[in-house]
Structure 1
Amino acid sequence: MDSTRPRARWKSMIIGNGFVRKDGRKGIRNRVVVANLVKCSSHIAHEIAKDAGDDVHEISFNGCYPNEHANRMMRQLCTHPNVGGVIIVSLGCESFPRDSLYAAVKSSGRPVEMIVVQESGGTASSVAKGRAALSAMLEEIRQTPRAPMHLDELVVGTVCGGSDATSGVTANPAVGLFFDRFIAEGGTGVFEETGELIGCEETMRQRSVTPALGEAVVESVHKAARYYTIMGHGSFAPGNAEGGLTTQEEKSMGAYAKSGSCAISGIIKPGQIPAGKGLYLLDVVPDGEPRFGFPNLNDVTEILEMAACGCHLMLYTTGRGSVAGSAIIPTIKVCANPLTYRNLSNDMDVDAGRVLEGRGTLQEVGNEIFERVVAVAGGKPSKPEALGHREFDLPYKYFDVDEDTCANQCACS
């Protein structure tokens, strides 16, 4: 495959009518986010958001002492292309810079309201004020203009969770085949889990579009290895072993398969938006010495980091079975194990495990994933979305990130 930046060879297909944001981006959903800024006001935020319908989602940062990573993530999530409006809920004395979050949302052209509980008369009055603002906002965003959205405007991310011995031979390589086709047609893809790519760094170096990018990719994996060595454990859970995986290297090879074979165009960190089209590696392991424990406490964290990088939707591969979804972006479940699929069929979108039973080929599954992505981007709910999954977890982390979200290492210039 040509290692130059991939370009569509024909006019990109229309996948539906996107929601046009004033910052120029298009979304595939039109959500209102209730953004809670500290655990102490979570009950009030929940009361505002509950019973408001599928287009209202509560997100939150539970901590009180400051963390720039959390600030960056909340700014990016509240101005995500799938988000049409934001209700900010603040207790009033937490360290989160609520005024800057409000200003960021306001400057993006989205409607935004802020409830400060200590200034709003307490629980009952804050809930009443929030519900009234939410009702008005839902009515306002119904007027969001629509315009045709093309495939090459779509950003798709991928992670794996609950991996087993089938993940690396069915679901993950099928997603890789999807990305090869998607990137060739002008799309933008993001894969991650540098802690689960240990041993694959030299192969990724060879796929990088420039030598400098190759060095950065290798260093990101070495950083992950150093981090896990200091912590005394890696990204290999007992459930992985119970599912038949034997080593970290075996798990890494399976995780790597999700990236396909096309050129790697750049490397980004959580909250950075890809600066151009192509395939990007998301480095989720914090910079510096370990400060806050394990890099990703659960798979939900990985999903929201993809959302904060501007992904419109997620491909989530699983062998053991995962039911988690997203509060911001639709999550498409690609099930690697045929036994798991039969047990959890109501939660799974794609049966990749049929390859093991001779009921299909990897290419057929890759094509099905492509068709499912187009359908979900066009408005069809994914299984977790239809079931109402809205898990959210934003931990403390540290990254050395340029505040210009396009200042990532890539071959854009």
Structure 2
Amino acid sequence: MSASNGTRNHLSGGDINTGEVLDARALNRALLARQMLLRREKLPVLEAVERLIGLQAQAPNAPYFALWARLEDFRQEGLSRLLLDKKAVRMALMRATLHLVSASDAMPLRSTLQSVMERSLKGAFGRQLKGADPAQLAAFGRSLVEDRPSTFGELGRHMRERWPALQSEALAAAVRNLVPLVQLPPRGIWGESGQAVHTSAERWLGQSRSAEPDTELLIRRYLAAFGPATAKDVQAWSGLTGLSKAMERLRPELVTFRNPAGDALFDLPDAPRPDSDTPAEPRFLGEFDNTLLSHADRGRILPDEYRSQVCTANGIVRSTILIDGYVAGTWKLTRERGKAILCIDPFAALSSPDSDALRLEGARLLQFAAEDHSHEVIIRQGGS
């Protein structure tokens, strides 16, 4: 039975195995609800960033598009001000990739994910750094960036003065992965440009690293933002390994379901699980949006047949459109001679209502991203 608001009745905790199978659409709607993609929410920007456990930030403007898709009346300055006021930072975290997170989340998350950073370093540069003492690399690199914030290129050259036999790229990577570094403004500020210049999070925020990792808290927060989920889903999002035991320890306070393949899905008892037929309006997601990257099975939002058209061989995740809650195409914004053009490439033909809704949402996107330009929305023929 469904609650009147379209969400299943809440369950109490205590190791409840409902035996219920959640089909693909139920999992999709749960994800959309927690990602604020069923309807825009009215939240302070910092609260939204924390609810989402940060935002992918490989592309400087990606977090702005992510928040525009999720929040009512979001303006770019709302996020830019957080970065300038040191209330939010850009740093390597989940999967050793760049994220934008709140200042209060930065050090606790980095402490819990430090093993991910170290494993990534070993996999990419282990041979190049063979024989070097990680503690010495970290201490010297920290002193350099705290004395003078640096690009990775500058950092690598300065590190090589001490370790001339090692490659600059490997030395800079060692500092990035062993020391919690943050990118400083103007990098990541809407409408501004600048190189990625780094210093330590401790120096920038005036904080110390959390003493103990808290994997169980990380799992709870993941489920609140991305659940229901398997242990493999949490691992795919975070980069952590061996999470099955931690999930089992949490089992008494969680509820469990099954996916169509029969795998156990863990969830918070009071998290939203909307009905499968809950409407989902068209949405525009920016590059590297978290919803596409946070499950072992990306099919809950990105159909397998479209994956290669969204996720490129060189690691780019393109900006996408959602139709009925699923990725159904890509989009690109270009500017020329005072005109901003939004070009939408559906993967299949769209219905007239979906085209109309997408065109209206696209006009809003142009108003947000290119307010001082004239606008044009182009929807190409699906499948072309």
User: What range describes the TM-score normalised by the shorter chain of this pair?
Assistant: under 0.3
Q: Return the index of the structure with the highest Cα Rg.
A: 2
TM-score (norm 2): 0.25
